[in-house]
Structure 1
Amino acid sequence: MKTLKQYEQTGGNVSAANEYTVVKNQTEGSSIFLTVLSSLIVVLIVLGNSVVILAFIVDRRLRNRSNFFLLNLAICDFLVGKSVVLPISLWSIITVYIESTLHLDLCNLWSQVHVLVLYHRAISITLSIPYTFTGKWMLGKFLCKLWITFDYTTTTASAYSVVLISYDRFLSVNKAVLHQSLQNRHRQTALNMILIWIFSFLVYGPAVLLWEIITGTNNFPEDSCRAGFLETWYFILGASTLDFMLPLLSISFFNLRIYLEILKRSAKRQNHSISRFSKEKAKDIGPFTITNNTVLSSPQTNEKRQNNSVPCMDLKIISDSPQTNERLDRLNKRNKLSKDKKAAKSLAILVSVFILCWSPYSIFVCVRAVCQGHCADFFYIEVTVWFIWTNSAINPILYPVCHKSFRKAFKLLLERFMKFFLVQQF
């Protein structure tokens, strides 16, 4: 497709110019739609995870070991949305692609959508404006490396937070006694969360900061902001193993063990119920009446005193006998099994969303590294990154859907917000 300037130079007719105008307007409309959609994702990430964090502050009932790992995931996702990662990458995709392929002027586009992106903090605006208008990175290597390091660290920490959540659910279902003993060990819980962040930084951080110094090469132009190792296939394969394959294998292992344990206990309970009902006989007492006298009377007397009697239903003998204790034990086990099934289902949903959002990027970046960038354009890698960031927007929606405690906390948070709002109004 020729540009308008090319049509003018070659004597293109008016219809050709009109065709270009239509294409330009359509492209600008698509770009605005993508910008609004991407900005909506950012808003969902920031607001959704902010609500989760505030719920922990407001409702003390959420503060247990299992939920602290969910809090760590919410913090990771919040930093993904609130940091400089999304605003810069959003405009990196749109400006570089449109200006390089369609030669369109983005100044008009920026004026239409700038309200949607200015809700970010000053640092986000400061970093994104030059990249927005020029499509080139002009803020120096230091801020570029800082942005890339923060990006990789937060997303990798998010992946390993899902591993921690899966491990905690595994202990809850398969090793209930050990899990219960860990509930009050807050220092160990905090240490696990800190180690996740340190490890996530070590996966990519040193490579981002020291790659040019170690290799003495830079595969990308000076005005771009990309990690130097993106064309090095062996590093990409190793790093992808650590930030996706290892979490995926760990999550799959824990979920499989949980599923097998629940399946085993369900089958055992079913077999026990069949055996019990085939051997036991109910020990009931027939219908009788309770009178207001302490001495049982004859049938004739009962007829005379029927106005003072209270009819009762069939009553089963309740005592501290072994049979009663056995029934209570069965009831507790049934409740525990039902609770574990719900936890397993909620975890399965969280893990499924994680796999769907992370797989495209991990597969695409490995393929591109192996073929040295000849079989996959970098633009599509940038697009698959948005799948990862979309995961950060979906997670806070899953918490209240899958966890009753979060629904109660969100309701409490909403009540306090409405009370505060009414006080401010009146």
Structure 2
Amino acid sequence: MEKPINSTDTDILMTAGTATKVTIYVIIMITGIIGNGMVFVAIGTFHTLRTVSNQFVLSLATADFTVSLVILPFSVQEAYYKAWYLGEILCRFWIAGDVLFVTISIFNLAAISIDRYRSIKNPLKYSLKRTNRMAYKQIAAAWLLSLLVGVPPFYFAAFHDGMCYLQLNPYFIIPATTIGFFLPLAVVLYTHTRIFGIAKKLATRVGQGPGTASEGTGSDPTRRQQSAVKRPTSLAVTKACDSRINDDAVSVAARPTPSGVQQPEFGKPITNKISVRRERKAARTVAIVIGVFTVCWMPFFVAISVASVCTSCDPQSFPLQVLTFMGYANSAANPIIYTIFNKEFRQAFGKILRLFCKTLDSLVLLKDKSVKPKKHHYGQRLKWDFNLQ
């Protein structure tokens, strides 16, 4: 006969569940703060990362950093106390801020996707418009449009019997999830489908190389002349589609012809193949960021949309809480993705960590009373030596 579960056993299980929930929140919070903080430092410190594309990455990191620093601490206290003790006003700000920064994230991903799509589709024309100022305008538009979805939850938040939650009103939830998630996600998926299609065509075209039978130039000088004029356009597209979530200037060198007409000069086939390969790697990195975001947030938005039209559904139910965990985890995921799949960010993060460790070691040595610094002059340089006594 099984032993019945008494109140003490139930309390232990509830305590274990609470501890697990709080621990997960804290891990996500710390990882998000450190990871996105390193994105700030990397882009601000390393010149190679100060590109137009990375302005969008910086905006995305800002939203994720704010979620980790501002939103998650409130989630930790609610998980720990199993109630909301901070009053109705903070409850409303917490709910609204949560919705706002998630919306900002998806709008930034849409902006990144559109930027990369335009860079590949019309590289020569778009490169003339593609400046930091243009990026700032698009980022500002993304943040302002997010307010349309992020402000209403301030009024739809419910504070009742010590609990803080978002009311599942279908007249708000359905339009909000459609505008704030499903429509921008559709834009993201469409643009990335087009990006990979164009990248595949470029890879095939460059893989054929100049002078192949597939180009059909034959021995006709006129056809060779036309081919020589047309080919740089596709090569310029390849060059414009630089990788690494970076952007290089689109430039095609010119050389004089016997007739005095300037004709584009293009590089070796191997260089063009490398450019296409880099662009495909860059597209893959962005696709992974978008894929992880979709996996983390899609279940939540589908569930909350269904729950809004379900009269018997509880907004505080366990499944919705688990899906909320997945969404919050996305705030810490992007820096990890950059580290794994982006060489420039990986190198920058490594240098930042090494510098931090060296600084920490120096501080430890300076605080150690057994270490006495001695000065040595070598020409115009001043060197410090630390000799252990």
- TM-score scaled by structure 2? 0.74
Distance change (3 Å), C-alpha of 1:376 and 1:154: closer
Offset of residue 45 of structure 1: 0.9
* CA–CA separation in structure 2 for the residues paired with 1:414 and 1:280: 57
Distance change (3 Å), C-alpha of 1:224 and 1:90: same
**Which residues in structure 2 correspond to 1:393-412 (within 5 Å)?**
393-412=332-351
Equivalent position of 2:29 in the other structure: 42
* CA–CA separation in structure 2 for the residues paired with 1:175 and 1:408: 31
Whether 1:383 aligns to 2:322 is yes
Offset of residue 256 of structure 1: 0.8
| Contact 1:173 1:340 survives alignment (8 Å) | no
Whether 1:374 aligns to 2:313 is yes
Whether 1:204 aligns to 2:190 is no
The farther-off stretch of 365-374 and 246-255 is 365-374
Offset of residue 367 of structure 1: 0.6
Q: Gapped runs of 5+ residues in structure 2?
A: 220-255, 259-263, 366-389
**Which residues in structure 2 correspond to 1:2-401 (within 5 Å)?**
16=4, 19-83=6-70, 85-92=71-78, 94=79, 132=81, 135-183=82-130, 185-205=131-151, 207-210=152-155, 221=160, 223-227=162-166, 230-271=167-208, 274-275=212-213, 328=267, 330-374=269-313, 378-401=317-340
Q: Gapped runs of 5+ residues in structure 1?
A: 1-14, 96-131, 212-217, 282-319
Q: Which structure has more helix as a fraction of its residues?
A: 1
The farther-off stretch of 27-36 and 188-197 is 27-36
Distance change (3 Å), C-alpha of 1:360 and 1:251: same
| Contact 1:58 1:413 survives alignment (8 Å) | no
Offset of residue 368 of structure 1: 0.4
Three-state SS of the structure 2 residue aligned to 1:351 is helix
Describe the superposition over 1:304-329 as per-residue Cα deviations: whole angstroms up to 9, x where unpaired: xxxxxxxxxxxxxxxx999xx87725
Equivalent position of 1:110 in the other structure: none
Letter in 2 for 1:192: Q
Q: Which has the bigger relative contact order, CA under 8 A and spacing at least 6?
A: 1
Offset of residue 249 of structure 1: 0.4
* CA–CA separation in structure 1 for the residues paired with 2:302 and 2:190: 21
Q: Which structure has more strand as a fraction of its residues?
A: 2
Offset of residue 145 of structure 1: 1.5
Letter in 1 for 2:119: S
* CA–CA separation in structure 1 for the residues paired with 2:193 and 2:117: 9
Three-state SS of the structure 2 residue aligned to 1:225 is strand
Offset of residue 194 of structure 1: 1.7
Offset of residue 354 of structure 1: 1.0
* CA–CA separation in structure 2 for the residues paired with 1:151 and 1:351: 19
Letter in 2 for 1:46: I
Describe the superposition over 1:59-97 as per-residue Cα deviations: whole angstroms up to 9, x where unpaired: 1221111011111111110000000x22332443x46xx
| Contact 1:219 1:231 survives alignment (8 Å) | no
CA RMSD for the aligned pairs? Answer: 3.2
Give the number of aligned pairs.
325
Three-state SS of the structure 1 residue aligned to 2:165 is coil
Q: Highest CA radius of gyration, 1 or 2?
A: 1
